[in-house]
Amino acid sequence: MTARVVLLVTSPRLPAGLLSAAAWDAVRRHPVLTAAENELTTALRLAGADVTVVPERPVDVLLDAIAAHGTVIWLAGATGDEELARQLGLRLAREPGLAELELMYGSWDPAGARLLDAVAVMDRLVSPGGDPWKRAQTHATLAQFLLEECYEAYDAIAAGDLGALREELGDVLLQVVLHARLAEELPEEQRWSVDDVAGGLVEKMIRRNPHVFAGARAGTVEEITATWEQIKRTEKARGSAMDGIALAQPALALAAKVLQRASRAGVDLPLPAAPQGLKDVCLDSEEALGAGLLSIVARAQAAGLDAEAALRRAALSYAGAVRAAEGVADPSD
């Protein structure tokens, strides 16, 4: 039988000892060599495997073990021990028939495994001895950066640049992980972690997609959306259609959301009367609408008015009127 060196690669992101059946058969049947002690070597020994740590000259030791045992297992480290594999491959190539080099995956990274790395790196950065700037931040001081990163991701989408989008989403994720890590430093009654964030998201996705997780009839996209909104209303227990609107969003987006929510709630409330000049804005196309809006902004600037602030006040005033029509008190009162 041809002698073999089996390079056993495992995922460092899974619990020690979580191996495939083929890997367990191999480590129980043949001697295991590795460069350093770790949780996996301990687990293998507890399961009855013969594990030897080889701190120096691993290639020579492997070749001696081949001569003695025929087949040996090299338990690769977290980086895969690529340099050892290269050196061993060259050595075996110079001595044909000595042994075969085989690669075996004992475990694989599950989808999303690198998120664990992101959490670990952020923990190191925020822990004592880490990055002073990140350790000094609060949810309030980071708020502007969360907005900026989301806008940059939006720009990448608008530009159709998927490579840039991948990077920008990483920056958004950084903000999420950093906020979650800082929350671990809060007083105990306020404390939460990235697991709480992820757990809440998972529960929400399962609740709001009964056609996927609860065997409900899928129906049309419109029906699925209606179900989502109904479940959301039940969860939030909102007294008004205006509850939950992000007030910090730009005024134009805020106005559109207020009008959309009012329409969905069936609140038939007339809009404030617009001056004659604004009524003449052409709505035949997006181009014409954009030109008209830009003209309004230019005229407002010329008159010393803040178009953004004016639209925000008008949108909030209309939202207050919707609450009044619903018979719900305005929380700002």
**Using 50, 70 and 90 to split pLDDT, how confident is the model at 274?**
confident
Determine the average pLDDT of the residues in 210-222. 84
Number of domains composing the chain: 3
242 close to 258: Cβ distance less than 8 angstroms = yes
Q: Are residues 89 and 128 in the same domain?
A: no
Is 222 a member of any domain?
A: no
CA–CA distance, 12 with 116 (Å, rounded to integer): 10
Q: At residue 277, does pLDDT exceed 70?
A: no
pLDDT of 235 > 80? The answer is no
Are 150 and 249 a contacting pair, CB within 8 Å?
Answer: no
With respect to residue 188, please indicate whether it lies within any of the assigned structural domains: yes
The pLDDT of residue 102 is above 80: yes
pLDDT at residue 302 is higher than 80? yes
> Is residue 273 one of the residues assigned to a domain?
yes
The structure tokens 């899928």 sit at: 218
Q: What is the pLDDT of residues 33-48, one digit of tens each?
A: 999 999 999 999 999 9
Same domain assignment for residues 93 and 173: no
| Measured distance CA(262)–CA(324) in Å, rounded | 12
Q: Residue 234 has what pLDDT? A: 76
Pick left, alpha or beta for residue 62 (phi over 0 → left; psi -120 to 50 → alpha; otherwise beta): alpha
Q: Is residue 56 part of a domain?
A: yes
Residues 160 and 81 in one domain: no
Count of residues making up the chain: 333
Same domain, 265 and 317: yes
pLDDT for the residue numbered 187: 94
Do 126 and 53 belong together in one domain?
A: no
Same domain, 98 and 8: yes
Q: Are residues 121 and 100 in the same domain?
A: no
Average pLDDT over residues 192-221: 90
End-of-domain residue from the set 75, 105, 135: 105
In a domain, 233, yes or no: no
The stretches of the chain forming alpha helices (DSSP H) are 21-29, 39-46, 58-69, 82-94, 113-126, 132-135, 139-159, 162-183, 194-208, 210-213, 221-236, 251-264, 276-279, 286-302, 307-326
pTM equals 0.72
- pLDDT above 80: residue 238: no
- Position 25 confidence tier, pLDDT thresholds 50, 70, 90: very high
Full DSSP string of 107-159: --PPTTHHHHHHHHHHHHHHSTTS-HHHHT--HHHHHHHHHHHHHHHHHHHHH
Is 45 part of a structural domain of the chain? yes
Domain-terminating residue out of 63, 82, 105: 105
* Mean pLDDT (whole number) for 115-121: 94
Which domain, by its residues, includes 249? 238-326
What CATH number is associated with residue 151? 1.10.287.1080
225 occurs within a structural domain: no
261 within some domain: yes
Beta strand 100-105 pairing with 32-34? unpaired
**From CA 156, how far away is CA 52, in angstroms rounded?**
51
The letter for the amino acid at 69 is H
- Asked if 93 and 41 sit in the same domain, the reply is yes
> Of the candidates 105, 139, 161, which is a domain's last residue?
105
- The reported pLDDT for the residue numbered 130 is 96
